[in-house]
Amino acid sequence: MDFSPEEIERYARHIVLADVGGPGQQKLKAARVAIVGLGGLGSPAAQYLAAAGVGALRLIDHDTVSLSNLQRQVIHDTGAVGLPKVESARRALARLNPHVTIESVPERLRSDNAAALLGDADLVLDCTDSFAARILISDQCFYARKPLVTAAVGQFDASITTLKPYASAADGTPNPTWRCLFPEAPPDGLLPSCAEAGILGALVGVIGAMQALEAIKEIVGIGEGLVGRLLLYDARSARFETVAYRWDPDNPLNGRKAAAE
C-alpha cells in the first residue's frame, strides 16, 4: 500500500518510530474501525485514530449535539449544536485528515443491525454510556470474532479493557468475555446517568485517548494489550490500578455449557 508524499510527511513521526515504521503505518491505513458512540469517549478516540491514519472509520450514534455535551465532547463545537453527532464528527475528522474514509451512521446500535454495522470492522471501540449497549456490543464482537476496546466513565473514575474472547490465553483457556467481568446487569436505577451525577470533562479525554492507543497497538501488533486486564483510573487521586480477570467457565458465550451445545 503506497503513501503519497503528503501522507509520508503527515505520518513521519510514526514511520520513524521503530515499533511502527512503514509496515505499521500501512496496517493502520488498511484498517477499518467501528466506533459506537460519538460522545465523551468517542470524541478523542475518533480524533486520534483519524490523526494516526486509520484508513476507514465508521461512526455510529443516533444522538444530536446539545450545548451540555460541549463540556467534554471535544469533537463538536458550538456551531454543531442540533446536528447529528456523527455528522458533526465526520466534518471535524475530514478537516483533521482528508486521507481517512469516514462513514457516518445516525442510528442507535440494536440487536437487528449490530451484525451489519460491526461485522466488517477489523476492530470495534465501545464508547457508549449504558450497560445494555456494552453487553450488545461485546456479544456481537464475540460472535463476529472482532477485538473490542471498551471503556466506562463516571464522575471521577474510569475503566478500560480489551476483549478477544474468541481467542485463547497462553494457558489454553479462552480469553474472558465482558460477561466474565459482569455476569448480570445492575438493577435499573442503580447507576446514575451522566446528567444525574455529573462527570469531569477532561476524564473522558484521558480514557478516550487510551482507547485509541489500545486500538492502534492492536492494529499494528505492538506492546501488551489489556486482554484479561481491567485498567482502573481514579482522577481525584491520579492513580491507575490494573486488575487481572479470567475466563469464567459459567459465562454463556464461551463457557463450558456453551461449548457443549
Catalytic residues: 194
Tell how strand 157-163 and strand 148-154 pair up: antiparallel
Strands 123-126 and 101-105: unpaired
Distance CA 82, CA 94 (A): 19
108: nearest Cα among 91, 80, 86, 138: 86
Place of cell 499494528: 220
Distance CA 93, CA 97 (A): 6
The rounded distance, in Å, linking the Cα atoms of 58 and 246 is 31
Order the strands of the 157-163 sheet from edge to edge: 101-105, 56-60, 32-36, 123-126, 148-154, 157-163, 229-234, 239-244
Rounded Cα gap, residues 204 and 58, in angstroms: 20
51 phi/psi in degrees, rounded to 5: -65, -35
